[in-house]
Structure 1
Amino acid sequence: MTKPFQFTADDVKVEKRETVFQGFFRMDKLWLTHRRFDGEDMPIFTRELFIRGDATCVLPYDPQRDEVVLLEQFRLGALGRNQSPWLLELVAGMNEDGESPEEVAQREGQEEAGLTFEPLEKICDYLVSPGGSTEMIHLYCGRVSTENAGGLYGMEHEHEDIRAHVVSAEDAIAMIHDGRINNAAAIIALQWLELNRARLRKGWQ
């Protein structure tokens, strides 16, 4: 059996690329071909690609109180579904040029929840929707104290309106199991917490 990952970016040829939309986000159209598993080349085809920078997300966790901080805010992409478009999410923000994910985590922790993380533990990096988007998420868990956490936050010039909620780890994990939390970063981070909670409670005290 052939092992996976036999191809690299060198096996893709972009014949033409143009920007078809530039607004808050950017969309490019590509004409491309690539190697096929049968050894032939794919006929040239077109795809639209959503150009979106990387982002960093953090699950704030207090191991002493066994609580997390989750942010509630409006999300346009959830509008029109059979649910509220106000979601419970992680601390998150777009990575700016020259910023490390850890620097983004600390900046967004302050702006969105008034929190500083010490330490930050890497969970994973993952591609959000690689069929049509360039975005990569850098996902972390950060130790905080939830003693005085919660309240209203957000950058008004960015049209942010955020309520930070302090939730028991048990209740947060229950919300991913029953579907009340249904965004990928929060699901992955809370499932990771479910697996690593005992270790963090012992090692982060």
Structure 2
Amino acid sequence: MVKTSKTVGRCEEFTANDVEVLGKAPLYQGFFSMVKYRFRHRLFAGGWSEPVDREMFERGHAAAMLPYDPVRDCVVMIEQFRVGAYAAGCAPWQLEIVAGIIEPEEVSEEVVRREAVEEAGLEVGELHKITRYLSSSGGCSETLDVFVGIADSRKADGIHGLPEEGEDIRVRGLSREQAYQWVESGKIENAASIIALQWLQLNYRKLQEAAQDLPLP
């Protein structure tokens, strides 16, 4: 039986209840997986679409965090090789914020604290949630939770990562102004980093004021 949304009329907002999944078949299972969906959905003009086939890239969900030092007005970023950037013709070594996949029974706050240690050698204090977004909703189910975390940028140095996971990560400490200039110039190309740095550019004064009453980690 097909469920329908409760709201009707010209301004109707469709929900998951206005989709009928006709089939779901695994295509590939590796580090990530691919699943083929067959479905139909309600149309804005009324009625239902014809059956649609789509391959879905399934990679779980992730969390990312920009370490920020409000005392020195500095951020900590990491640099590592990204095969997707290489294949897209972008800079193969990307400037990013720390991030990781959310494992079963984990919450996103735990993930970004763990990844800050593994990828940047940093302990992070207070976390500020920015947003949750879909990385590419047309063919991927992944969502990312994005944070800014309070940290001591003086401890940002060296090469980090887990060799058993093929990680070779260089830590970069830089001023907030420099990092935002790289957003404006296009040097920073990945969405989570751009979102976090844009949010920080709008809110850094509030974090600096709040930090006067908080010890750094």
| In structure 2, distance between residues paired with 1:50 and 1:166 | 33
| In structure 1, distance between residues paired with 2:203 and 2:120 | 23
Normalising by structure 2, what TM-score? 0.91
| In structure 2, distance between residues paired with 1:47 and 1:18 | 11
| In structure 2, distance between residues paired with 1:190 and 1:91 | 13
**Alignment map for 1:77-116 (pairs within 5 Å):** 77-116=84-123
Give the corresponding residue for 1:125: 132
- In 2 relative to 1, CA 46–2 (structure 1 residues): closer, same or farther, beyond 3 Å? same
Which is worse superposed, 164-173 or 110-119?
Answer: 110-119
What's the CA shift string for 1:29-48, capped at 9, x where partnerless? 11100111111100111000
Q: Give me the identity figure in percent.
A: 46
Answering whether residue 147 of structure 2 is matched by residue 147 of structure 1, we say: no
| In structure 1, distance between residues paired with 2:87 and 2:104 | 34
| In structure 2, distance between residues paired with 1:148 and 1:109 | 12
Give the corresponding residue for 1:61: 68
The answer to whether the 8 A contact 1:116-1:144 is kept is yes
Q: Which runs of 5+ in 1 are unaligned?
A: none
- In 2 relative to 1, CA 44–136 (structure 1 residues): closer, same or farther, beyond 3 Å? same
| In structure 2, distance between residues paired with 1:23 and 1:82 | 24
Normalising by structure 1, what TM-score? 0.96
Write out the 4+ residue segments of structure 1 that deviate beyond 6 Å after TM superposition.
Answer: none
Say which SS state the counterpart of residue 113 (structure 2) adopts. Answer: helix
Give the superposition deviation at 1:198: 1.1
The answer to whether the 8 A contact 1:151-1:164 is kept is yes
| In structure 1, distance between residues paired with 2:189 and 2:179 | 12
Give the superposition deviation at 1:81: 4.3
Give the corresponding residue for 1:178: 185
Give the superposition deviation at 1:112: 0.6
The answer to whether the 8 A contact 1:69-1:150 is kept is no
| In structure 1, distance between residues paired with 2:10 and 2:125 | 44
| In structure 2, distance between residues paired with 1:201 and 1:189 | 16
Say which SS state the counterpart of residue 137 (structure 1) adopts. Answer: strand
Q: Which runs of 5+ in 2 are unaligned?
A: 1-8, 213-217
Give the corresponding residue for 1:166: 173
| In structure 2, distance between residues paired with 1:28 and 1:153 | 34
Give the superposition deviation at 1:2: 4.1
| In structure 1, distance between residues paired with 2:52 and 2:156 | 51
1:203 is matched by which residue type in structure 2? A
| In structure 1, distance between residues paired with 2:131 and 2:24 | 31
